[in-house]
Amino acid sequence: MQPVVVESHIIESLEESVRISDYGGSHLLMTPSRNSFKKAIRAKRVLLNGELADSSRMVKKGDIIEILLSEEVYPEHKIKIEVIYEDEYMAIVNKPAGLLTSGNQHRTLANALSTNLSESKEKARLPRPNPVHRLDRSASGLLIIAKTMLAQQDLSSQLAAYTVDKTYRVISHGLAEKTGTVDLPIKEKSAQTQYKLIKTIPSNKYGGFSILDVNIKQGRKNQIRVHLHSLGHTVVGDLLYPRENPGKGLYLHCYALTLNHPKSGEKMTFEMDLPKKFKDFLN
């Protein structure tokens, strides 16, 4: 079987060349830490501009880093995951708050997919279903899963081109303006966040709250949390910027997304209800 590329990353901005082992990790979904990225290099799962990379290789702006599918057998994490949509090529699932999307751990959503999704009947199916993007551990909501090599490549390309629309419902501290845009780099990479005010909740004790619909373009790590905090509207329950939390957990949920089907090209929109804790907060 040909090696399967499960993630492709183009270096958009880099002021000076650095070792690939220093650049990787936080920039890639499938290897979210420096150690996991180095492990992937040692396992010959990292390509730099189409060639196997080693830790000493230097990278620069415009280089392409690819992660190959691991042949390692991961133990299944047997928990129930809500499936919003599924066919032979892809699936949309609801990631619960508190669960890692993927990584070098047993308790991840990636390790729970095989027991919650049916095996694809396509010849070019992946050995196991694979998330094509991630949500922060403490966030919840819709996540896109590839079941075939075609879907993996096409969906990854859509995400890289910023053509997948994702809408998050957020409860934040403070009374926000009706609409707003934050254009603030994260780790020297461009990032833009737009929000729309749905409702304000006055509170003498806590200073008030805002219910927001948020859309992001690039999807940098912690982008929504960092950008809203920069406006003084920290997400309720955000442990990056701790404030008194009258609820439970992080109030950040991806409830809608639009993409093109990786096989047919059909435009598809998915929406789901908000978690119970959002409704409890409002009550």
How far lies 213's CA from each of 44, 238, 250, in Å? 41, 17, 15
pLDDT in tens, 114-140: 999 999 999 888 888 989 988 989 999
Number of domains in the chain: 3
Active site residue 136: yes
Query: Could you tell me if residue 18 is inside a domain?
Result: yes
Do 64 and 77 belong to one domain?
no
Last residue of a domain, one of 140, 161, 182: 161
Q: Which domain holds residue 18?
A: 5-68
**Which of the residues in the chain have pLDDT under 70?**
1-3, 26, 29-30, 32, 70-75, 104
Query: Could you tell me if residue 259 is inside a domain?
Result: no
From 173, 111, 132, 101, select the one nearest 9 (Cα to Cα): 132
The pLDDT value recorded for residue 160 is 82
CATH of the domain at 17: 3.10.290.10
Query: Could you tell me if residue 190 is inside a domain?
Result: yes
DSSP for residue 110: G
CATH of the domain at 204: 3.30.2350.10
pTM passes above 0.75: yes
The pLDDT value recorded for residue 29 is 67
Q: Which of 63, 136, 154, 238 is catalytic?
A: 136
3-state helix, strand, coil in the chain (%, to 5): 15, 35, 50
pLDDT in tens, 68-100: 876 555 567 778 999 999 999 999 999 999 999
